[in-house]
Structure 1
Amino acid sequence: MPAGAAAHTDRPAPVGVDPTRASIARVYDAFLNGKDNYEIDREVLRGVQKAAPEAAELATENRGFLIRACRFLASQTGITQYLDCGSGLPTAENTHQVVQRIQPDSRVVYVDNDPVVLAHGRALLEENDQTHFVSADIFSPEEILENETVRKHIDFSEPLALLQLGTLHHYDGSPTPAEIMATYIDALPSGSYVALSHFIDPQNEHSTVARKMEEMFLHSPMGSGYFRTKEEIAAMFPGLDLVDPGLALCADWWPDGPRIKPLNQVQFCIAGAVGRKP
């Protein structure tokens, strides 16, 4: 059964949640075959699946990259504080669960302003006194960097990890994504790390499916989902030294074991990298 095809009985919407408008967090949940989504969100999934039947791989590849990047940061860098921008709805292996398994004293501050995350996810994300949640706009970096809760739990005099995973491909405006990231990175102390993933137009034989998926996203009830070039995504890491293998397909960023089956067309359409601020 394809992702999103399971039978759903939509619950009444919590206060502040509009089940007639697609939500980025709920659409992502639908792509992961979760249960915290509505028919309008599954409509987005079905539309993108018309362009590429394997479309749900965008979410599973992004989640795999998040888990592997967090394992790397927790086990290799000594970082114990994380600012996770665009947390989305809780799922298996959230950031704090991955890093606290390796470094139990790790602090994680999640940031999101989606009403469904506030209604459904906040309590689950704040499951211990080392995890905290902030309701704010991740595309307004000054708002995040000056937030009282962020400043209380993240020490900007010590290295930290900033996560922007699967977020900036839902943004197109002024300032640009590269300018947003420059503002964040300017505020990070030396020795900090940035992990970022983004839909990519691979500019090869898979470009056609990338652009078809983009067209479906942009004309869906969600209205966002930009597939940018490698050069455009690389510009979101200003001044950072990228960890090997650099900006790569999420599937190629330290995969779990040898690959014994070829990538499908959608796996060529999402990339990620981890960079360190000198």
Structure 2
Amino acid sequence: MTDRIRTDVAHNARVWNHWLGGKDNYPVDRAVGDHVTGLYPSIGEVARADRAFLGRAVEFLAGEAGVRQFLDIGTGLPTVDNTHEVAQRSAPDARIVYVDNDPIVLAHARALLTSSTGGTTEYLDADAHDPDGIVRAVEPTLDLHKPVAVMMLGILNFVMDTDEARAIVRTLMDAVPSGSYLVLTHPTLELGGEGNEDAMRFWNENATPPITARSGAEFASFLEGLEVLEPGIVSCSRWRHDVAREIRFPQVAQFGAVARKP
């Protein structure tokens, strides 16, 4: 595993961890992350708003929607209120499969593989570019005959080709039954994110993996054939937020949505 870890090139999972105030990163990650912040000062707000959106979405799905299975693709490094922790607070019997292929994340798998007594948490070392492989590997932890919440927060932006990104989503959603959900976030140059263009260019020249922003129309195309829940496609900080959270997390240039498979 260690031969897969590059400490001389910034990596998204570690830079994201830095933006969230974590310590699981290297000097190169902090240097690139700080330079991106200089180009796009609100990136830290984006990271925190994305994490808060995850909490609200999972709380809704495990609670009001009654979902008991979660497939979290692009897990990232563990932090507070990971998917299994939020889900199992509402539903101790919830079953969660985390998917990531970053060796640092894999090294921290023990921190993720903690579960309530009645539930299950597993970790899958796999690539989002291989959705068929993911589908084959999630069973028997997940029962694909029962509803699954497919979580893809900030991951499709690393699939540079939009047609391929759509195909990934279709493959995953075709594998789960009616009553399943898709949870997405994605960076954009809309919603006040125009300043992110220079930051993304710098990122693609100095870090890995490369990233792309998408428009609202492109984001909506990932949700075709699904029932988008209210309030629709919005800044992730504004998805079912309360007043206190609105003050803490102003609108950020990151689309968020939750949709149900009919």
Distance 1:234 1:33, change over 3 A: same
Contact (CA 8 Å) 2:46, 2:252: kept in 1 or not? no
Number of aligned residues: 259
What SS does the aligned partner of 2:6 have?
A: coil
What SS does the aligned partner of 1:152 have?
A: coil
1:272 equivalent in structure 2:
256
Aligned pairs for 1:99-110 within 5 A = 99-110=87-98
- Which ranges in structure 2 are unaligned for 5 or more consecutive residues? none
User: In structure 1, what is the Cα distance between the partners aligned to 2:131 and 2:246?
Assistant: 41
What SS does the aligned partner of 2:70 have?
A: strand
Q: What's the CA shift for 1:48?
A: 1.2
Match of 1:231 among 217, 229, 237: 217
Q: Deviations over 1:156-196 (max 9, x none)?
A: 11111000011111221385211211111111100000101
Contact (CA 8 Å) 2:9, 2:207: kept in 1 or not? yes
Partner letter of residue 35 of structure 2? Answer: G
What SS does the aligned partner of 1:58 have?
A: helix
> Which contiguous aligned blocks of 4+ residues in structure 1 show a shift greater than 4 angstroms?
258-264
Task: Determine if the alignment matches structure 1 residue 124 to structure 2 residue 124.
Answer: no
1:95 equivalent in structure 2:
83
Q: What's the CA shift for 1:68?
A: 0.6
1:4 equivalent in structure 2:
none
Identity of aligned residues (%): 37
Task: Determine if the alignment matches structure 1 residue 240 to structure 2 residue 221.
Answer: no
Q: State the superposition RMSD in angstroms.
A: 2.0
Partner letter of residue 176 of structure 1? Answer: E
- Which ranges in structure 1 are unaligned for 5 or more consecutive residues? 1-12
Partner letter of residue 41 of structure 2? Answer: P
What SS does the aligned partner of 2:208 have?
A: coil
User: In structure 1, what is the Cα distance between the partners aligned to 2:94 and 2:245?
Assistant: 32
What SS does the aligned partner of 1:153 have?
A: coil
User: In structure 2, what is the Cα distance between the partners aligned to 1:260 and 1:191?
Assistant: 30
Contact (CA 8 Å) 1:182, 1:237: kept in 2 or not? no
